[in-house]
Structure 1
Amino acid sequence: MRASTAVSALLAAVLATTLALGAQAGSETPARSQVEKTFLIPSSEGYGVADCLTTPGSACGQTVADSWCEAQGFAAAGSFGVAAPEEYTGSVDLPVSKPSERPLRITCRD
């Protein structure tokens, strides 16, 4: 009689564990979505960082962009460089005639 009680208790424990694991597998939380925000900075911003930010892949550009993003509450910069016309058309008062006058772009991410 004791053996059948022990087997029943063992089966009940296995069943409870299986049910608990199945419930956990179905209740996984979705991954947090990546948040990105792009900032436009006038090319004549006065900080003297335009040369760094306009050189693709530069170490100083990455440092400046990361610092900018951290100051804005983001983790790091995803990309940086000269903004394309479609990124700022309608947001500046005067037409931009020279590429060197185009705003700078820093895209920050969490």
Structure 2
Amino acid sequence: MNLRTLSFIAACLAFASPASAQNVASFVVSADDGYGVDTCLESGAPCGQPIASEWCVANGYAKAVAFRRQTETDITGAINAPTQVAAAAQPHAVVITCEK
């Protein structure tokens, strides 16, 4: 291989995204979704992980890799103020991160 080919391969590898990153997604889930992840977080019961995984499976993913309460930092300034207020008004919303 010549230097030009090696440079091209190195550039491709540098800009390639890891395959695992494409298989992970996070979702803000309302407390009234019927699954009860928020209730598990609130009570400290160990039911959160299996319930979060059930939510992921029901939405086309294999399992939950993380779940937590929604925080103010999850709400960005990139959306209109009325929408921000509506999102912030859900104190028991949770963020579930799912993996394919």
User: Is the pair's TM-score, using the shorter chain for normalization, greater than 0.5?
Assistant: yes
Q: Which of 94, 105, 109 is matched with 2:99 structurally? A: 109
Would the alpha carbon gap of residues 46 and 71 (structure 1) be closer, same or farther in structure 2, given more than 3 Å must change?
A: closer
Q: Which of 7, 19, 30 is matched with 1:33 structurally? A: 19
Q: Which of 61, 64, 67 is matched with 1:80 structurally? A: 67
Larger Rg: 1
The Cα shift of 1:53 comes to: 4.0
Q: TM-score, normalised by structure 2?
A: 0.58
Give a deviation string over 1:2-41, Cα, whole Å, max 9, x none.
xxxxxxxxxxxxxxxxxxxxxxxxxxxxxx7111111111
The Cα shift of 1:46 comes to: 5.2
Would the alpha carbon gap of residues 39 and 53 (structure 1) be closer, same or farther in structure 2, given more than 3 Å must change?
A: farther
Match of residue 56 from structure 2: 69
* Aligned CA-pair RMSD: 2.7
Q: Percent identity?
A: 25
Structure holding more helix per residue: 2
CA distance in 2, matches of 1:84, 1:68: 20
Aligned residues: 75
Tell me which stretches of 4 or more aligned residues in structure 1 moved more than 6 Å. Answer: none
CA distance in 2, matches of 1:65, 1:55: 15
Native 8 Å contact 2:75 2:84 kept in 1? no
CA distance in 2, matches of 1:39, 1:59: 20
Native 8 Å contact 1:54 1:61 kept in 2? no
Structure 2, unaligned stretches of length 5 or more? 1-17
Aligned to 2:27, the other structure's residue is in SS state strand
Structure 1, unaligned stretches of length 5 or more? 1-31
Q: Bigger relative contact order, structure 1 or 2, given CA contacts below 8 A and separation 6+?
A: 2
